[in-house]
Amino acid sequence: MADLHSCPSEVLQLVFYDLDNPTAFTRTNRRLYAFSQDPYIRAHYFLARYGPLQALYFALARGKLITPRVLDILLASGAHLSRYLVQVAFHHFFHSQSHFLKPAASWVRHVPLTTFSYFLNLAAERYGDIPRAKGEDDGALFATFIKEAKLPPESQRVSWETIRDIFENYHFIPFCTKDPLMASFPLALAIEPRLLPYAVANGFQMDAKYRDFVFRKMFERMPAPKQAHAEEIVANVRELCRLDPDMFVTRTVAAEVCLEVKTNEAAYIALKQLDRAGDLPFSLVELVQDLIKLFHNVRAITTSATSQVLTQLYTDFLAPPPLPIACIASRNALSSPRPQPVVDPIVRRTMLLTIFAAEPPVPATALAARLAPLRLGPLTLADAADILLSAFVEKQDLILSYLRKEGVAVEPGASRSSYNGKEGMRKVTLAEYRMFAEEVAVRCLTRESKGKTIKRLCETYPSVKCRIVEAVLGEHEVPLEALGEGSGSTWRARLARSMFMCDGGGVSDAEEDDHDHEGEEDDELDDDSESEPEMWSGVAGTSAVATESKPDRDLGTIGFEALSTMIRRDELQGGRGGRRRYYPAIYGATGTNSSRLPLEMHSVARWIKTEFGANSRVTATFFTHAIINGNTSVLSNYLMPTPASVPITLRHFEVMARLGSSSMDYQLYDRIKQGAPFYTTEDEYLAGADSARLMLKRLGKGKQRETGSPPCVKVEPVDLVSVGSPRGKKRPRRSAAVTAVNYAVPDSDDDAIAAEEDREDEFAEYRTGGVPRKKVAKVETSLERWVEALGKLLKEEQHKYREKKKRMEKESKAAGGVKVRVSKSDFFRSLSGNMRLLRELDVRERMFRIAAGEVTFSDEDDEYVQSKAPRAKRRRTA
C-alpha cells in the first residue's frame, strides 16, 4: 500500500490504460479513487484503449463515467465524431430501432440526460440540423448506395454526390467494428475509388485483407456493354492504385478473372489492357502459364468448361502464331524448319489432356481437328506415354488409334522409309507398340490409381505382365539396410502409396516426368506427389504454385475458383468473426476441381494381389511397401482372408523397427492373435510356390536381366516337428534294440506302472543294452514363435532406447545440465503394449491345451523340474 502512495502518477496512468475495467482497482485506496475521478484520465483512457475512431462509442457505453468535461477533452484530443454516430445514439437513447444494436442493449442509455443533452448540443454546433427520421440517417443512405450499385444510374435513389457529401461534410465512417457497415465499407471503395481520400481523412485505414475483395468487386460482371465496362474497370483500378500505393491487383484476383474468360469478357479485356500498359506488378503470360500447369493433375481437366477456358488462355498467350499460306507452301519441313516459341512441357501436356482426357471422350475421327488450333506440334511416343500416365486416362484405345492413323514425329536421323506419307511423321512398328506398352505399365506401378490401365495393357500385350514382374523384383526390392534408422514417416516407398496422400498438394507428376525427357532413367519417375532420384525420399512439396514476387509485395497464390465464386464467398463470410463461415460444398467447386483422383479408380496394389495371388514375391514386395507407407486400404485388402491373405513375416516388424513408425501395425498384431503362421522372411512360404518366378520360367525369362533382378532364392520347407534333430536321421526301430528281460508279474499294478515309466524313460534302452533313444522335440505353436521373436525385437528396441538416453543425457550435461526428455519411437511404444497382450494370450492358450490334454509334461521338462527342494518351515515356540 505504501508503494501505491509513492508511485508516480504517470505509472498509475499506464496501469489504468492496461485494464479492461479499472473499477475494482480504483477502490483499493483513496488516492486511486481520486485519481480515477480526473476527467483527463477518463478521456485518455478511452483514447488509449480504443483509438480515436472508436473512443466515443465505448465512452458512451460507460455512461456513468461520462461528464461534459470528459466529452470536451475527448473531442479536443482527436476523438472522431461523425453525424452517423450522433444519429445512432439519438435513436437508441430514445428507444428507437437502430442498425445493429439490440433493443435491450444499454449502450448509451446509462448516460445522464444532462450529459446527453450536452452531447447533442456539441453535435448541433458542428453539423447543424441533423436528420432524425427513420431511414434518413447516413448509415441507411450508405447501405442503399451499396445495394443499388449494380443498377443503372437513372434507377439509383442515392447518387455519388450524396455519398461524397456525407463523407466530406459529415465525416461519415462506421464508428465500431460491430457495425455491419464496417465490412461493406471496402465495397464502396470498389464501386467508387474516388471515396478513398475522404475515407482516409476520416480515419479509415485499408487493411491488406480487404485488397482482394475490393478488386474482385471492381472486376465483377455487370449488365453493361463489355467495352465500356472494361474501360470503367481500367479507370477504377488505376485511380485506386494512384490514391493508395498499397493497393494493387494480385495474382490471386488475376487468376480468378482468367478463369471467367468465357463468362466475364469485360474483366478479361480490362486485365489484358492493364498488362499491356504495365499496371500489373507481374507478367500475365507467366500467370497464365502457371494457371494452366495447376490443372495438370486435377479432375477439372476432364470437364468441357475447363477445357474451353484453358484453350482460350493458351491460344491468347502461349500458342505459336499460325504460319502464312505463302510460308507453308514454300517451307521444307526436313531441311529448314521454322523455329517456334518454347512452350513449357507441362503446359503442352496439360493441353493434350484437355483433349485425350475429356469426358465424354472425343471421337477418334475428331482428334486431329481438335489438336490443329492448339498448334502443339506432332506427337511423340513420349507424349503418348505421358497421356496414358495421367490418372484421368484409363483406356489406351484412343491414343493408340490416333498413333496408327497419324503416326509419330520423326526423330533426327531417321530413314525416309519410315515416313507414313505425312510431312514429318512416321509409322509405329508392332515392336514399338509392345515396348511402349511395357514402359507405360512399369511407370504405372508407382501410380496407385492406374490399376485399370495396367490391367488393359496386360490383356492386350502378354509380355507386359512379365515385364512388371521383372521391374518389381528388380527395381523395387526393399533392402532393410537402405531404410534410415528412426526416420519414421519421412520415408516413403515408391509402390503402394495412398491415393489420397497427394490429393491437394505436392509437386505434379508432370514436373517429375521432366527428368525422363532430359535423358534420365524411367525409375526416377514417381507418383503424382513428388520426384525422387532414389528409391525413397523425404516428404516435401507445397500445394500452392510458387510465385516469384518482390520482397516488399505479396502477390498471392492462385487457385481453382473463379471470380464469381470468390465474391459470393466473401459476401457470405460477413464482417464479424462469428459469422465467418465457409461454404465450399455449396458455393464452390474446390472439392471437385482440385481432386487428383478419378471418379471410378482401381488400385494397382489390389490388381497385383488379384493377378498374382497372395503367395507371390510381387505381392509380398507391394505388401512391404504398403507397410512402409502406412497405406490402410492396401493393408486391409492384403490381410483380408478372401480369397487368401498375404502372410506376415518377422521382416515386416523389422522394417517398422528401422523406421520407428507404427502406422497401421495393429492390423498385423490382430492377424497374429487370430493365428497367423510364423515366417521369418518371405522365402519361407514362397519356396517352390512363387507364381511370379514360375511365370518367368514358363516364358523362358528365368535368367537375370540387365535391370538387376535378383536371382530366385530357394529355401527348403521347414519341418517344425524335426527341428530338434540336428542330423535329420530317423530313430532306429525298437525291434533293432536288445529286448530286455521282464520279470514283472502280469497282474501287478505297481509293476505295470513301473513298466509305463520305464517306457517313457529316454535312457531305458541304453540301460538295457539297446541304442539310446532320441528326445522328441516339443512342437511350438505359431503364437509361441511370434512371442519369442517379437520379444527379442523388443529387447533390441529397449537396448537402443537406453543407449540413446545415455547419449542425450551426456550431451545435455556437456551443454549445461539442461534436463532433456528422451521420447520413445512409435514402434517401441506399440510393440511394448502389444507384447503384453500377446503374452497373456499365449498363457491362456497354453492353459487350454493342458486342460484339453494336448500337452503333457514329464519330469525332464526344464520348466517343471524343481532344482531345489523347498525348505521346511518349523513352528516357532516361545
Residues 590/259, Cβ–Cβ less than 8 Å: no
Q: What is the pLDDT of residues 637-656, one digit of tens each?
A: 999 887 889 999 999 999 99
Split at pLDDT 50, 70, 90, the class of 445 is: very high
Hey, what's the torsion of the CAs at 323, 326, 332, 338, to 10 degrees? -30
| pLDDT exceeds 70 at position 549 | no
Does residue 723 or residue 272 have the better pLDDT?
272
- Secondary structure letter of residue 873 according to DSSP: P
Residue 791: its pLDDT value, please? Answer: 94
Query: Of 190-199, 340-349, 363-372, 414-423, where does the model show the most confidence?
Result: 363-372
List C-alpha distances in Å: 60 to 55, 172, 207: 9, 18, 27
Q: What is the pLDDT of residues 797-853, one digit of tens each?
A: 999 999 989 888 888 888 777 777 888 888 899 999 999 999 999 999 888 888 877
- pLDDT: which is higher, 728 or 129: 129
Decide if pLDDT at 435 tops 70.
yes
3-class DSSP string for 262-280: CCCHHHHHHHHHHHHCCCC
Residue with cell 467494428: 177
Provide the 3-class DSSP secondary structure of residue 664. coil
Mind listing the pLDDT tens digit for each residue in 598-640?
A: 888 889 999 999 999 998 999 999 999 999 888 888 999 999 8
In angstroms, rounded to a whole number, what is the distance separating the alpha carbons of residues 840 and 603? Answer: 38
Mutual angle of helices 284-294 and 345-356, in 10-degree steps: 50
Judging by beta carbons within 10 Å of its beta carbon (0-12, 13-18, 19+), is residue 870 exposed, middle or buried?
Answer: exposed
Residue 519 pLDDT exceeds 70? no
- C-alpha distance from residue 751 to each of 644, 742, 770 (Å): 54, 10, 21
As a whole number of angstroms, the distance between CA 767 and CA 758 comes to 10
Q: Is the pLDDT of residue 203 over 90?
A: no
**DSSP states of 674-725 as a string?**
TTPPP-SSTHHHHTTT-HHHHHHHHTT--S--TT-PPPPPP-PPP-STTTT-
- Residue 68 has, within 13 A of its CA and on its CB side, a CA count of 8
Residue 152 has what pLDDT? 79
Helices (H), 277-429: 284-294, 304-317, 325-330, 345-356, 367-371, 381-388, 397-406
| φ, ψ for residue 143, nearest 5 deg | -65, -40
pLDDT reading at 12 higher than 70: yes
Q: Which pLDDT tens digit goes with each residue over 96-138?
A: 877 778 887 889 999 999 999 999 999 999 999 999 888 889 9
HSE-CB at 79 with a 13 A cutoff on CA atoms is: 25
Count of CB atoms within 10 A of residue 662's CB?
22
- Please give the grid coordinates belonging to residue 202: 476520416
pLDDT, tens digit (0-9, with 9 covering 90-100), for 750-761: 444 444 445 545
What nine digits make up the cell of 474? 528388380
Whether the CA torsion 797, 803, 806, 811 is positive or negative: it is: negative
Counting residues of the chain whose pLDDT is more than 70, the rounded percentage is 73
b/e per residue 721-751 (b: at least 16 CB within 10 A): eeeeeeeeeeeeeeeebeeeeeeeeeeeeee
Q: 452-486 pLDDT, tens per residue?
A: 999 999 999 989 999 999 999 888 888 887 787 76
**Predicted local confidence at residue 586, as pLDDT:** 38
Identify the burial level of 191 via C-beta atoms within 10 angstroms of its C-beta, where 0-12 means exposed, 13-18 middle and 19 or more buried: buried
**Rounded distance between C-alpha atoms, residue 788 and residue 749, angstroms:** 43
3-state secondary structure of 425: strand
* Span of 27-41, 258-272, 430-444, 853-867 with lowest mean pLDDT: 853-867
**Among 220-224, 406-410, 765-769, whose mean pLDDT is lowest?**
765-769
Q: Looking at residue 273, what is its pLDDT?
A: 95
* 576 close to 178: Cβ distance less than 8 angstroms: yes
For residue 245, what pLDDT is reported? 82
- CB distance 495 to 470 below 8 Å: no
* pLDDT number for residue 780: 80
Average pLDDT, the chain: 77
**3-class DSSP state of 426:** strand
CA 630 to chain centre: 15
pLDDT at position 533 is 30
What is residue 420's predicted lDDT score, i.e. its pLDDT? 55
Place of cell 517352390: 688
pLDDT, tens only, 559-600: 899 999 998 887 776 544 444 444 443 334 444 567 888 888
Predicted confidence at residue 523, as pLDDT, reads 36
Q: Residue 5 pLDDT > 60, yes or no?
A: yes
DSSP per-residue codes, 59-127: HHHSGGG--HHHHHHHHHTT----HHHHHHHHHHHTT---SSS-TT--SSTTS-HHHHHHHHHHHHHHH
pLDDT score at 111: 93
Cell of 214: 475490393
> Which one is predicted more confidently, 672 or 540?
672
Higher pLDDT, residue 437 or 95: 437
pLDDT band for 712, please (50, 70, 90 cuts): very low
pLDDT in tens, 283-299: 999 999 999 999 998 98
* Burial of residue 609 (number of CB atoms within 10 Å: 0-12, 13-18, 19+): buried
DSSP-assigned states of every residue in 356-372: HT-SSPPPGGGHHHHHG
Kindly give the pairing relationship between strand 425-426 and strand 408-409: antiparallel
Best-predicted range by mean pLDDT (235-244, 258-267, 522-531): 258-267
Q: What is the pLDDT of residue 319?
A: 86
Question: Can you tell me the distance from the alpha carbon of 649 to that of 659, in angstroms, rounded to the nearest whole number?
Answer: 16
Residues with Cβ within 8 Å of 59's Cβ and at least 6 positions away in sequence, in order, are 43, 46, 65, 66, 70, 71, 74, 79
Nearest residue to 232 (alpha-carbon basis) of 275, 273, 278:
273
Degrees, nearest 5: CA angle 303-309-315:
130
Query: Which residues make Cβ contacts (< 8 Å) with residue 656, sequence separation at least 6?
Result: 627, 662, 665, 827
* Cβ-Cβ contacts under 8 Å for 642 (sequence gap 6 or more): none
